[in-house]
Amino acid sequence: MVPREITLRRSPLAAKQRGHAPHRPACRPALPLAQASLKLAPLVVIPAPKANCSAVCSAVEAHAIGRRRLCLSFVFFSLGGGVWCSCSSGGETMGPDRVVGVAALQFACSDDVESNVSKAETLVRDAHAQGANIVLIQELFEGYYFCQAQREDYFARSHPREGHPTIERMQRLAKELGVVIPVSFFEEANNAHYNSIVVIDADGTDLGVYRKSHIPDGPGYQEKFYFNPGDTGFKVFKTKFATIGVGICWDQWFPEAARAMALMGAEVLFYPTAIGSEPQDGDLDSSEHWRRVMQGHAGANLVPLVASNRIGQEIIETERGPSKIAFYGTSFIAGPTGEIVASADNKSEKVLVAKFDLNKIKVKRHSWGIFRDRRPELYKVLLTSDGQL
């Protein structure tokens, strides 16, 4: 759809104050940028017949004002009181609104699979009723976070992706409600095991799997005992409502993961999580640090971000006695500049929902130039472990 151009004239009051008679300037070719006046005076917007604004758009495309273009719902540049257009920054056309509702679920898990999956289904329905199109369930929600302990019997909790009962149940739910659901599960693939997510589209289609790339190994979070490092690489999934990127828990602490998904076209980032207290340091509360790291990913890439965490205390028996973690919840949704727009506390079951216009966010992202000004040839050091080239 071709945007309708508009002509703007200075208000009669402003003209009178300058000692000039109010007038409505005729459409004329844009002045060269060097001659263009960039001072904004009080303006009145007047609908006008279609005009050729390509010259203005070309000039704007070639010149960023202070490394950042003026951007509102539309971008208006005053070029000597001449032609004005409703083209978006960077010469892009602002398309119709493309609003997507996203949700994060937060709840306590028992060690009963049916109870947990039923709880997740109930909350997905609640999120859908509140207008969510994409609903994120927390990491490994089918049961306790078993990685507190190294127990061989817990490998029995893994299942192949094909024929997985929880995935199939969520496929039916997604199709019924018309929502997208990323589903976290303990994946068995021949002799390998992964901490994985399958993304289910709004028609129930399995769009593919992402396997967790960064595997932690510390007191209470002994995931290396269970999971192979993911072999899928970072991925994006083109769902009915948006192109999304999904990382899993420890992935969220690495800015490279978020940037990789954003570069591949992710419009929203999702991070299902299982994080809480540290068994070796009961006084440590990393929840604010956890949030700020991901808020930075949202702001640095100018994409919304959804983080879902569990709540409640879980106790796992180990050879050395019981191990316990108090999961601190604080699930949240961040906007494209990192601001938190929806938030949960550390104890309550919660469904968080927020809506974003992805077309307007795209214009904002492009107007900032953060991807235009990247210098990939300078980032080779990121491919090293010790910073030595």
What is the residue extent of each domain of the chain? 6-91, 99-357
Token pair of 372 as six digits: 């235009």
| pLDDT single digits (tens) 272-303 | 999 999 888 878 899 999 999 999 999 999 99
Using alpha carbons, select from 336, 333, 331, 332 the residue that is nearest to residue 357.
336
Chosen CATH of 99-357 out of 3.10.50.40, 3.60.110.10, 2.60.40.10, 3.50.50.60: 3.60.110.10
Q: What is the pLDDT of residue 140?
A: 98
Active site residues: 139, 212, 249
Q: What is the pLDDT of residue 67?
A: 40
Phi/psi of residue 354, nearest 5 degrees:
-145, 155
Q: What is the pLDDT of residue 38?
A: 38
Spell out, as residue ranges, where the chain has pLDDT lower than 50.
1-93
Helical H segments across 250-307, by residue range: 255-263, 287-301
| pLDDT single digits (tens) 311-339 | 999 999 888 889 899 999 999 999 999 99
Length of the chain equals 389
pTM check: above 0.85: no
Token pair of 319 as six digits: 């050879």
Phi/psi of residue 59, nearest 5 degrees:
-65, -45
Q: What is the pLDDT of residue 94?
A: 54
- Alpha carbon distances (Å) from 207 to 68, 181, 189: 37, 10, 18
